Chain A
Amino acid sequence: MTDLTKLTLAQARDGLAAKEFSAHELTEAYLDAMSAGRALNAYVAETPDIALKMAKDSDERIARGEARPLEGLPIGVKDLYATRDVHTQACSHILDGFKPRYESTVTANLWNDGAVMLGKLNMDEFAMGSSNETSWYGPVANPWKVSGSDEILVPGGSSGGSAAAVAARLCAAATATDTGGSIRQPAAFTGTVGIKPTYGRCSRWGIVAFASSLDQAGPITRTVRDAAMMLTSMAGHDEKDTTSANVPVPDFEAALGGDLTGLKVGIPKEYRADGMADEITALWERGAAWLKERGAQIVEVSLPHTRYALAAYYIVAPAEASSNLARYDGVRYGLRVDGKDITEMYENTRAEGFGAEVRRRVMIGTYVLSAGYYDAYYLKAQKVRALIKRDFDAAFEAVDVLLTPATPSAAFARGAMTDDPLQMYLNDIFTVTVNMAGLPGISVPAGFSGEGLPLGLQLIGRPFDEETLLKTAAHIEEAAGLDLAPAQWWK
């Protein structure tokens, strides 16, 4: 039999439906690939018993002709999602041993649609990072390497385990989350597709909170079609999340196909950052040319407050994080480090339990929310955020979708930016505006760097118009026609 892990999610679905192989065989193929791929450190917990049990149920359903949309398809789950009785630690030391007695809404939706859980995926601690180097479980390796080099590169972050596992064929698809670029940046670094849906499209219930007004769940997949399949199952209104939107969920896969006649694509001029690498500029221009050839009209637009988005984000996100992470005190779950009294116990637990980046952000957040500074920082950032949103509203009066680079560069070497937090933050310069405005964004592989590393383009859409994003991204994917299977050096 051919290697079943080579199949995309859609191909595996079709193969199962045609009874070319069983869910058990497909799951076993992935479990073998996971064992062989441990050098990547993509998984922090493998759940083979659960996977084989779910696959058996799927085979029975398929035999009875009762297959659900994702029946028997093996996926990985970012460690940020609560999975009942299974390791859920946001890759933090402070959640040591935590196994929730409940299931996140998004993963419950996936299991209800027949998906098979392979395990929990590595990530930056509490989703704070752009390189998957802040995880308590150690860094993830990017499956891609510079041609002719043995140097280990980062997979991006915070959903680095999700992106690496999908790129290396250690799962058919993965869940991820995006607060400032944590789906789209790792997708761009690994040659995978990542969509951050509109804020409110997927329930946040049961996902460990980082910055509640920015966090959103989404998938990382090998193809745009696979992303559409995953999103259709993950999305939906949930009464347990008051910010979950009560809007219908279309069959996103049905949005694919057709040409782009009449589509207006905006090129935001402010994204031409000073010192942008020539190959990123060339990729961007090539992407615009592809869309034009397929009937779209290219229009230059202006988003004047773009350059302030990252600074505003680094007030809003740490402020919300300092509040959300106040719950980790050694009382109800996870790590406890004793002290002479309860306050010292809190302080010792949090000192030992949080890594350096999380501590830094909690402290920044605490500072900007502290008495006397609230107006100068938090209120100011919220006003700038309103202006960023206003920029997008104006742009979307003239165009249907925006095209930008996904990242300022290809994947970089492990350790290259760990000593300079600000340099690391700049990785999200093209993605963070989208979270600030609550819009949907997708990163799609569009080319290779001169060194042979994948590069992505980003499309940004109107609220709840993921269909246009997916449809347009599929055209870029097809025009690029890339071979996105990295050499399997880890085997």
Chain B
Amino acid sequence: MSVDRDTVRRIATLARIRVKEEELDQLAGELSSILNWIEMLNEVDTEGVEPMTSVEQMEMKKRDDVVTDGFCPDDVLANAPRREGNFFAVPKVVE
């Protein structure tokens, strides 16, 4: 599977990572070589094999739906790059 410049641009948008125009060719080459190598999995017959989603043979643990933590806004916001009152501040989203 070969990845072209447009595909790299599309993946970068999906991943929310700005990629400079001059980086597109190199990234396309790197991603293509990794994806080409991964193609070897097509040799494996996986007909009828259930996909493995967890290594553990255990039932999903559940807990009571009660509050166990919270009421600590200063802790939650302690690392905020920008804070206004008890809120994370971000650039204006709604015009």
Contacts and interface: CB of A to CB of B under 8 A. Distances in A.
Contacts of A181: none
Contacts of B67: none
Contacts of B86: none
Contacts of A199: 55-56
B11 to A, nearest CB: 5
B90 A331 contact: yes
Contacts of A384: 41, 44, 46
A367 B35 contact: yes
Given A345-B90, A386-B51, A387-B46, A363 B12 contact: yes
A64 B83 CA distance: 47
B79 A98 contact: yes
Contacts of A338: 91
Contacts of B31: 360, 363-364, 367
B66 interface: no
A304 to B, nearest CB: 10
Contacts of A98: 79
B88 A331 contact: yes
A7 B70 CA distance: 44
A382 B52 contact: yes
B40 A311 contact: yes
A438 B88 CA distance: 38
Nearest to B88: A331
A427 B81 CA distance: 38
B50 interface: yes
Nearest to B46: A383
B interface, by DSSP: helix, strand, loop or mixed? loop
A188 interface: no
A200 B61 CA distance: 13
B14 A370 contact: yes
Nearest to B72: A101
Nearest to A96: B81
B35 to A, nearest CB: 7
Interface string A395-439: 000000000000000000000000001100000000000000110
Given A97-B79, A99-B78, A338-B91, A363 B40 contact: no
Interface string B3-43: 10001100110111111000000010011011101101111
B58 A332 contact: no
A40 to B, nearest CB: 29
Find the residue from B53, B61, B82 having the highest chain A CB count within 10 A. B61
Chain A interface size range: 35 or more
Given A343-B16, A363-B31, A367-B35, A382 B53 contact: yes
Given A363-B11, A377-B38, A384-B46, A333 B17 contact: no
Given A199-B56, A339-B91, A334 B18 contact: no
Contacts of A331: 80-81, 88, 90
Chain B, interface size: which category?
35 or more
B49 A383 contact: yes
Contacts of B79: 97-101, 332-334
Contacts of B84: none
B38 A351 contact: no
A91 B42 CA distance: 36
Contacts of B52: 382-383, 385-386, 389
B29 to A, nearest CB: 11
Contacts of B81: 330-331, 333-336
Given A243-B56, A383-B46, A383-B51, A332 B40 contact: no
Contact of B91 (A342, A350, A377): A342
A363 B15 CA distance: 6
Contacts of B35: 364, 367
A99 B75 CA distance: 10
Contacts of A4: none
A348 B53 CA distance: 33
Nearest to A239: B63
A239 B41 CA distance: 37
A366 B75 contact: no
A322 interface: yes
Interface in A328-379: 329-336, 338-348, 350-351, 354, 359-360, 362-364, 366-367, 370, 377, 379
Contact of B16 (A346, A360, A387): A346
Given A101-B78, A242-B60, A383-B52, A345 B30 contact: no
Nearest to A98: B79
Contacts of A362: 15, 17
Given A331-B81, A333-B80, A348 B18 contact: yes
13 contacts: A239-B61, A239-B63, A245-B56, A308-B40, A312-B41, A333-B79, A338-B91, A351-B17, A363-B8, A363-B12, A363-B31, A367-B11, A370-B11
Given A213-B55, A389-B55, 14 more contacts: A305-B44, A333-B79, A333-B81, A338-B91, A341-B91, A342-B92, A346-B16, A347-B17, A350-B16, A351-B18, A381-B41, A382-B52, A383-B44, A421-B34
Closest 8 CB pairs of A and B: A438-B55, A382-B51, A336-B81, A333-B79, A383-B46, A386-B52, A351-B18, A101-B75
